[in-house]
A and B are shown apart, each in its own frame.
Chain A
Amino acid sequence: MEPVQEYLIAIDRDPDEALSIAKATAKRLENKELILLGLTKSLGEYLTNDDRTIRAKAIGFYASVLAALPTTLLSPAQVSVITQFLCDRLEDETGLKEVSQGLLAVAGMTRFQPEDSVMVMRSYVSNELYDSSPRKSTDCWVIDKLMSEKREALKEIGPDFATGYVDLVNNEKDPRNLMIVFSNLKAIIVEFDITDCEEAVFDACFCYFPITFKQPPNDPYGITAQDLKDRLKDCLQASNNFAVFLFPQLLEKLDSHSANTKKDVLQTITACSLSYGKNIVANYWSTLWDAIKYEVLNASDDDLALEALEAIKAIAVSLSAKLTTITRTSSLDKYLKAVTKECLTQLRNPTAKQAKPSASILSAISTASAVAHATTIQAVMPGLMTIYDGLEEIAKQRNMLQAMLPLFDSTAEIYGVWGEVELPPSLSNSLEPFKDKLFEIYSKALMGAAKEEVSFRMSGLNGLTKMSRIRNFFADNEIGLIVQFFDEIVLTDEKIDMRDTALDSLLILSRLKPSLIMEITFPAFMAKLPDKEEGEKSYDMTLSALAQLSVERPVFQVLLTRIFNKLNIVLNNKSGPAYPFALVSSILYVLRKKHELGRDISLHYSRIVPELVTRTLIPLANASGGNDLSHEAVLDVTGSIVNVILRAMEAEKQKEVLNEFFKIFVKRERSTMITADSDLIAERFNPLEQGTSPPQASTNIIFASAVAAIRREVPLPVDDLPQFLTRIIGLAQFPYSPGHRRSLLRLISVIVNKYINSPEEHEFLQKATDEMWEGVKTADTAEAAFNLPTLFWIAKALALRTDKLAEPIVGRLMELLDSEELGASVGRGFEVLLSDDPLLCKENYAVSLDLEDSAIKTASIDTLSVTVTEATSLVSEHISSLITRLLAASSPSDVNTIKVRTAALRCLSIFPTALNISVVIPYKRQIMRALLKPLDDPKRSVRKEAVDCRARWFALGELKDDD
């Protein structure tokens, strides 16, 4: 049987088999077992078959064989013959797709000659069949292949090619093909001779404008409307000869009601103005300006106004080409004259609706180029100054001050801001002559106006800020004066908005002129800080301002020195923990801020950590008996500072620092971290030993924070980990204070989570928890169950890393929920188990499941949050009893205080999203009904929770079989 016959039989039954027949045939050709002529001839009878599908399939076979041949096998003559053969087949209406596949294969042959591509192209272009029948994507691919590989040959076809191509693609609608068509059209416009058919080619592109394609659901093509728009825009801007057709038609479409069309028009004007070049744009700026200005001056849509401003700017950019000085006869000059004249007229009445858009236009054109900036400023500033002097109403003055603000931004854009390395333009800054006058009117607005005129003063403040940014505009002494103004406002102004904005301005200046902030603002602010607690928290706003200003490194160094000095004084005055707390917190604030900004905060270790640790510990070891730094709230902040710094360190450095911490807290050795009297600490400081003093014990807060920060690969410097853990567990049984216990439990949890890894350690832990469980199980009071909290924290550490040991522990604890003596404590324990812990987190290298995107996490509800999938599945099993308990807790009674009711409702409201819908939906009705009662709670805050909770359950939707 001929291979073609086998193929025809196989194709409908099994396309894969058919394909392998084609491949086998190709192999035979390659091995010379079959000759090409024979193969072609064998097709003969099928190609004249009356059944059109047979004809198509036969060609399909031929194409598959060609595609499977090595590209180097055929000689030039053979390639030509095949090409001719296939081109002839293009006249047969059926099988066009298969023919194109064959052409695609043959065009990929090494010996495919330029003449062959011309032949293919001519056949396509002259093919009248395409007028009636839809073309296939494969044609596009053939042409695209020829365009990219044999373009030079196609160019020789001459003008016919372009017209032919345009006809060929006429009416194409498939977005995938359009992507190819647009890129081919662009190549034709740029590289082919289209002098005689410019309009036809232009129309072939522009008929698709504006693109209205919408991505279908599931996006089967992977093509966005923007992709098409971009390619079309590439075509339209490819030849400046299109300007004559394009601009009039675009402006016509600008009258459209569709915002999308308008946006496309404006974006196309912008792109084409930039690419067509100065000489073309010179002919059109006038009509363009007349049409586009309307879109800014009477804008109803801010986005469109911005697009229009871009277009107005693009015209100026285009006209600025090659100009280095103001040239009166240039078309740029004429354009800017027209624009500035119109805007200045509008600005005569600064409270009119068009004033603000006019100011935006001025700002847009002045950022086009240095020359455009100079021309604009020279044209408008004298006028604006005169208008300002003539204004009497404060509202008008304010609007005028505001109208000039964008011009300062443009100036900063053209001439740069302080500290930039780029060279400024050679043209001198035209705003310079107005500097003194501007300084005067904006300063007067800020400092001279009545306090109530907030928006007027605000314009003054903004103007001074913006002008201070411009490089080489104000002198340092002038900016120094401005900094003083801002300081005064931050420290004394009664309007919050003013204080905030002034502080923001100081922040901007702290980056551009840090020395001025250190020399002027710091002393002024530090002088406001009292030496001891003075009731009304006189220091908090000042500290807040200082902390915000200190993100830059040199400023932060100054802040540290000053804060530590102040801390000494405040501690000596012994006025309570609140002020020291605030001082230390401000350091933590800056560190966190710096970390958020991606700075390496580990390098602040040596300056901060030894200092704080020493200052905290020494008074606890010497006879003085401690100071306010050992208050647990302050210890918490100090711990957080140690934690954020340590976790930013490399493993090597962590190891070093961790050793020092163990020397101090565990081993009672001399440590280099203690900067004052390390012998004293080694001798008298023993926070992790039975019988230590309560204040010393509390410092474990710092130790736990430090250990939590360490990377898993850094081992703990202890010889026997189980023994060490046993020691901490022992301490946690009889803590001195809640804070002390919390720190010990966290320490246990961190160690279990990160370091219990080997089988022996596992075995130890299993044994230890079994023993604890025995004690807890038989306990008859909460006090007697002293290992219960530890069990929960160990379970938490294990569950976080989905350790299978967690399951039996949690399961046992669940059993206790109904215990009369321990039920309440166990309930609280589950809260611990399910909530986030600041120390057990990914940032601290804890092993945890990645649930970053979980909806619950963003809901940030404090009572129950799901970091523990393991535990939620366990909750699911007990959902019925939990819901009953929570609903009971949500109605007022002596024991159900506001807090209890609130928390119960909050907890209930988490269920719908935290648990699987099939688990919760059976309870929806019961809950919706039961929640009607708390809707009428006597307390407003509880009612609020009830409303939210009901809304969440309501949003669950209905059961399918609901009546």
Chain B
Amino acid sequence: MSDIINANPTILNASDLPTRLSESRKKQSSSAYIADSISRLPTSKTLLHDPFAPSPGGDSAYSSGASDQDDDEDESAAEDIDEQEIYDLISSISDPEHPLSLGELAVINLPHIHVTHGTPTPSNPHPMSHVLVEITPTINHCSLATVIGLGVRVRLEQALPTRFRIDVKIREGTHQSTDQVNKQLNDKERVAAACENETLMGVLSNMLATCK
């Protein structure tokens, strides 16, 4: 990859990317952080934390006492895997030719991720679900679109439960050889063959190394 294919892509600011965090937390500035660290009285729970005292709820051998922000998390309410979660999984993948994430380059966009869940029935409590990710290459002749698509696919296969069907496609009209790339990305055998290729896997593991 000696010659950079798109030397001047449009870049989104990291703080403008979609996130689940509330506005106030996302924009926390250094000063606000210091303010927080100065004035945040530890919760009584942390203060009373005693690694040796048996705590309600049975075996708390693994409670660390440090992460008290999720104290209020509701134990019972289930949270489905949604578009934002998929976005969080793949937007931090690095672009193979820029030191930027796919989110920052707007290759991955939240509105272009679609998750559909089957309806659970008593006989089948975990029905198949489907996720479709549409990729927008930075330029329409980007020869790395396949590699990027493959990276997204590998990441999702590693990170999603087995009941998910995964489709990765180039977004309609954003690439000159959309069909060809799509075919490669969704052909199981081709993907498996690609994963045998060591050079390619080297590139992929670099791309995935930045996943948060």
| Chain A residues within CB distance 8 Å of chain B | 300, 496-497, 499-500, 503, 537, 539-541, 543-545, 547-548, 577-578, 581-582, 585-586, 589, 632-633, 636, 737-739, 741-742, 782, 788-789, 824-825, 827-829, 831-832, 835, 862-863, 889, 894-895, 897-900, 902-904, 907, 932, 935-936, 938-941, 943-944, 947, 950-951, 954-955
Which residues of A have CB within 8 Å of B62? 827, 831, 863, 889, 899-900, 903-904, 907
Binding stretch for chain A, among B66-74, B176-184, B188-196: B66-74
Which residues of B have CB within 8 Å of A889? 59, 62
Which residues of A have CB within 8 Å of B7? 300
A–B complex contacts, Cβ < 8 Å, 23 sampled:
A300-B8, A540-B39, A541-B35, A544-B39, A547-B34, A577-B41, A582-B39, A582-B41, A738-B53, A789-B52, A824-B54, A828-B52, A829-B51, A829-B52, A889-B59, A900-B57, A900-B63, A904-B62, A935-B160, A939-B78, A947-B89, A947-B159, A951-B208
Are B41 and A828 in contact, CB atoms less than 8 angstroms apart?
no
**Min CB gap A247→B, angstroms:** 29
Which residues of B have CB within 8 Å of A503? 31
Are A935 and B159 in contact, CB atoms less than 8 angstroms apart?
yes
With A862-B67, A863-B62, A895-B58 in contact, do A585 and B38 touch (Cβ < 8 Å)? yes
Which residues of B have CB within 8 Å of A581? 39, 41
**Min CB gap B119→A, angstroms:** 16
Are B51 and A832 in contact, CB atoms less than 8 angstroms apart?
yes
**Residues of B83-135 whose CB lies within 8 A of A:** 85, 88-89, 126
With A544-B34, A788-B52 in contact, do A633 and B41 touch (Cβ < 8 Å)? yes
Are A585 and B48 in contact, CB atoms less than 8 angstroms apart?
no
- Inter-chain CA distance A941–B75, complex, in Å, is 12
Which residues of B have CB within 8 Å of A537? 39
Are A940 and B211 in contact, CB atoms less than 8 angstroms apart?
no
- Inter-chain CA distance A497–B7, complex, in Å, is 30
Interface Cβ pair total, 8 Å cutoff: 158
- Inter-chain CA distance A950–B34, complex, in Å, is 34
- Inter-chain CA distance A944–B60, complex, in Å, is 20
Are A578 and B30 in contact, CB atoms less than 8 angstroms apart?
no
**Is B19 located at the chain interface by the 8 A CB criterion?**
no
Identify 4 new A-B residue pairs, CB closer than 8 A, beyond the known A544-B34, A824-B59, A936-B161. A828-B61, A832-B51, A889-B59, A951-B208
With A895-B57, A932-B162 in contact, do A500 and B31 touch (Cβ < 8 Å)? yes
Chain A interface mostly: helix
- Inter-chain CA distance A935–B160, complex, in Å, is 6
- Measured CB to CB, the nearest residue on chain B to A500 is B29
Which residues of B have CB within 8 Å of A904? 62
Partner of B61, one of A589, A632, A824, A935: A824
**Is B21 located at the chain interface by the 8 A CB criterion?**
no
Are A943 and B39 in contact, CB atoms less than 8 angstroms apart?
no
**Min CB gap B59→A, angstroms:** 5
- Measured CB to CB, the nearest residue on chain B to A826 is B61
Which residues of A have CB within 8 Å of B61? 824, 827-828, 831
Are B57 and A897 in contact, CB atoms less than 8 angstroms apart?
yes
Which residues of A have CB within 8 Å of B42? 633, 636
- Measured CB to CB, the nearest residue on chain A to B79 is A940
- Inter-chain CA distance A863–B61, complex, in Å, is 10
Are B39 and A951 in contact, CB atoms less than 8 angstroms apart?
no
**Min CB gap B90→A, angstroms:** 11
**Is B36 located at the chain interface by the 8 A CB criterion?**
yes
- Inter-chain CA distance A789–B77, complex, in Å, is 36
Partner of B79, one of A900, A938, A951: A938
**Min CB gap A649→B, angstroms:** 25
- Inter-chain CA distance A737–B57, complex, in Å, is 20
- Inter-chain CA distance A540–B31, complex, in Å, is 10
- Measured CB to CB, the nearest residue on chain B to A636 is B42
Give 3 nearest A-B pairs by CB, closest first.
Answer: A903-B62, A544-B35, A827-B61
With A500-B29, A889-B59, A941-B73 in contact, do A828 and B51 touch (Cβ < 8 Å)? yes
Which residues of B have CB within 8 Å of A586? 38
Are A941 and B70 in contact, CB atoms less than 8 angstroms apart?
yes
**Min CB gap A784→B, angstroms:** 13
**Min CB gap A478→B, angstroms:** 26
Which residues of B have CB within 8 Å of A633? 41-42, 47
Are B73 and A943 in contact, CB atoms less than 8 angstroms apart?
no
| Chain B residues within CB distance 8 Å of chain A | 7-8, 27, 29-32, 34-39, 41-42, 47-54, 57-64, 66-67, 70, 73, 75, 77-79, 81, 85, 88-89, 126, 158-163, 205, 208, 211
- Inter-chain CA distance A130–B34, complex, in Å, is 71
Partner of B35, one of A540, A943, A950, A954: A540
Are B52 and A900 in contact, CB atoms less than 8 angstroms apart?
no
Are A897 and B52 in contact, CB atoms less than 8 angstroms apart?
no
Are A585 and B211 in contact, CB atoms less than 8 angstroms apart?
no
Are B51 and A831 in contact, CB atoms less than 8 angstroms apart?
yes
**Min CB gap A825→B, angstroms:** 6
**Min CB gap A826→B, angstroms:** 8
**Min CB gap B65→A, angstroms:** 8
Which residues of B have CB within 8 Å of A825? 52, 54
Are B59 and A900 in contact, CB atoms less than 8 angstroms apart?
yes
With A862-B64, A950-B159 in contact, do A898 and B31 touch (Cβ < 8 Å)? no
Are B38 and A547 in contact, CB atoms less than 8 angstroms apart?
yes
- Inter-chain CA distance A902–B63, complex, in Å, is 9
**Min CB gap B34→A, angstroms:** 4
**Min CB gap A245→B, angstroms:** 31
Are A943 and B47 in contact, CB atoms less than 8 angstroms apart?
no
Are B158 and A951 in contact, CB atoms less than 8 angstroms apart?
yes
- Measured CB to CB, the nearest residue on chain A to B78 is A938
- Measured CB to CB, the nearest residue on chain A to B34 is A544
With A503-B31, A544-B32 in contact, do A582 and B50 touch (Cβ < 8 Å)? no
With A548-B31, A831-B62, A889-B62 in contact, do A899 and B70 touch (Cβ < 8 Å)? yes
- Inter-chain CA distance A742–B73, complex, in Å, is 27
- Inter-chain CA distance A185–B192, complex, in Å, is 58
**Min CB gap A291→B, angstroms:** 21
- Measured CB to CB, the nearest residue on chain A to B77 is A938
- Inter-chain CA distance A276–B159, complex, in Å, is 62
Which residues of A have CB within 8 Å of B8? 300
- Inter-chain CA distance A907–B59, complex, in Å, is 15
Are B64 and A863 in contact, CB atoms less than 8 angstroms apart?
yes
Partner of B48, one of A547, A738, A938, A954: A738
Are A496 and B29 in contact, CB atoms less than 8 angstroms apart?
yes
- Measured CB to CB, the nearest residue on chain A to B51 is A828
- Inter-chain CA distance A541–B30, complex, in Å, is 11
- Measured CB to CB, the nearest residue on chain A to B8 is A300
Which residues of B have CB within 8 Å of A903? 62-64
Which residue, B38, B39, B47, has most C-beta atoms of chain A within 10 A? B38
**Min CB gap A180→B, angstroms:** 33
Which residues of B have CB within 8 Å of A500? 29-31
**Min CB gap B52→A, angstroms:** 5
**Min CB gap B21→A, angstroms:** 12
- Inter-chain CA distance A902–B62, complex, in Å, is 9
**Min CB gap A471→B, angstroms:** 28
- Inter-chain CA distance A738–B45, complex, in Å, is 11
**Min CB gap A645→B, angstroms:** 18
- Measured CB to CB, the nearest residue on chain B to A737 is B48
- Measured CB to CB, the nearest residue on chain A to B64 is A862
Are B51 and A543 in contact, CB atoms less than 8 angstroms apart?
no
- Inter-chain CA distance A940–B21, complex, in Å, is 13
- Inter-chain CA distance A469–B54, complex, in Å, is 59
With A940-B79, A947-B159 in contact, do A499 and B58 touch (Cβ < 8 Å)? no
Are A936 and B126 in contact, CB atoms less than 8 angstroms apart?
yes
Are B31 and A895 in contact, CB atoms less than 8 angstroms apart?
no
Are A898 and B73 in contact, CB atoms less than 8 angstroms apart?
yes
Which residues of B have CB within 8 Å of A544? 31-32, 34-35, 38-39
**Min CB gap A325→B, angstroms:** 44
- Inter-chain CA distance A737–B49, complex, in Å, is 10
Which residues of A have CB within 8 Å of B67? 862, 899, 902
**Min CB gap B143→A, angstroms:** 19
Which residues of B have CB within 8 Å of A738? 47-50, 53
With A739-B47, A824-B54 in contact, do A900 and B158 touch (Cβ < 8 Å)? no
